[in-house]
Amino acid sequence: MTSDTAAQVSTLRAAAEVILPDVIQVRRRLHQRPELGLALPHTQALVAEELARLGLDHRLGTGVGSVTALIDGFRPGRTIILRADMDALPLGEETGLHFSSQNEGVMHACGHDTHVAMLLGAARLLAARSDLFSGRVVLMFQPGEEGFHGARYMLEEGLLELAGEGPDTAAFALHISTKEATGTINLRPGPLLASADRITITVRGRGGHASAPHLALDPIAVAAEIVLALQLMVTRRVDAFDPALVTIARVAAGTTNNIIPETAVMEGTMRTVSEATRTTVRDLVRRVAQGIADAHGAGVEVEIEPGYPVTVNDGPFAAFVRDVAMQIAGAEAVAEMPAPIMGAEDFSYVLQRVRGAMAFLGARPASEDPATAPMNHSNRVIFDEPAMAVGVAMHTAVALRYLGADARTDA
């Protein structure tokens, strides 16, 4: 790293603190007007407005409500994608904040409003420092992370035509979390988050009177056996060091207490931290359900809807991010996660195409007990806004370091 780049990195935290009030204001505007899914007209317009204020050209998505923008350095070079997801969740907010959601039943409960605000803050710092780096920063403002595959749609609409796809392109994202203390950075090389597939199993029996089950074919009893067998399957057929999780979270059957129904429907989720185990478990779920149904003479249909892939951090790039984080947040505030999280993320689609990493930014208010603090996806979650200064500085520093004159020795 050159001395100029090192000096910039060392002062970025201070620069981020200076603009933090503006970042907070943007975040609160977003928080009050949350939107769901792939079409985010208000959010998209706000992001475009803020980018125009910085003098940055931007492109709006055609099929989805995305925004992309470019910051070019003083000469050609490598490219880094910085990503912020923008959509909210279908929750009624109960935080009591004076800037609570004004859209009934919709809330930024996963912190995506902070992600957008932090990336806009980083864009401000990077645009003012474009004479210090070579190459290109691609700002990726993404809709539809909460189950709508927004990152995949952005790739299909040409994200990598702007960024390029090759060894000189990398990607970085932050995810805010109240699991960790404010201002901490938490990440790991390799699998960071799980894949997520949706399971629907329909058992078809033969209806009848509950007083004469021998004359019917009870699908509820078959479904119950399948649920238990799936749990045993995970413990006996899946390597404990390459884990899987199968949860049946909904069972629907019957209309009253004395009628055996025709069908029982189960819905659940399947999580893994490797694509190999993901394939194995899909096959095992089908085999277990079919085998038990066959044993009872019932019919069964198994549908597995593919969800997000495993989110896998590139090892060397994760080490690079960790080094940057130690400079920005301090060594005591940086931790390597001991294991992946079984939640899922569609940044995984980007990391399948280019090397990169995601890290978690701690934002638990000091007044909250770590054991009881409302977590992401709670309608009572409150993120500690000062943590966003660390996030702004991280985005900026990762980009500056990666695109620095001697960056090839750093990542």
- The helix or strand, by DSSP H or E, that contains position 112, with its residue range, turns out to be helix 112-127
Rounded to 5 degrees, φ, ψ at 233 are -55, -45
Distance CA 185, CA 173 (A): 12
Which of 345, 349, 385, 402 is labelled catalytic? 385
User: Is residue 211 within 8 Å of 201, Cβ to Cβ?
Assistant: no
User: Is residue 393 within 8 Å of 24, Cβ to Cβ?
Assistant: no
- Using alpha carbons, list the distances in angstroms from residue 187 to 79, 80, 93, 311, 322: 22, 19, 29, 12, 8
Q: At what angle do helices 112-127 and 41-53 cross, to 10 degrees?
A: 20
Distance CA 208, CA 92 (A): 42
Which of 153, 308, 349, 402 is labelled catalytic? 308
- Can 385 be counted among the known catalytic residues? yes
DSSP string across 311-351:
EEE-HHHHHHHHHHHHHHH-GGGEEE-SS-BSS--THHHHH
Distance CA 199, CA 183 (A): 37
Distance CA 300, CA 208 (A): 18
Residue 131's identity, in one-letter code, is D
Give the active site residues.
Answer: 308, 385
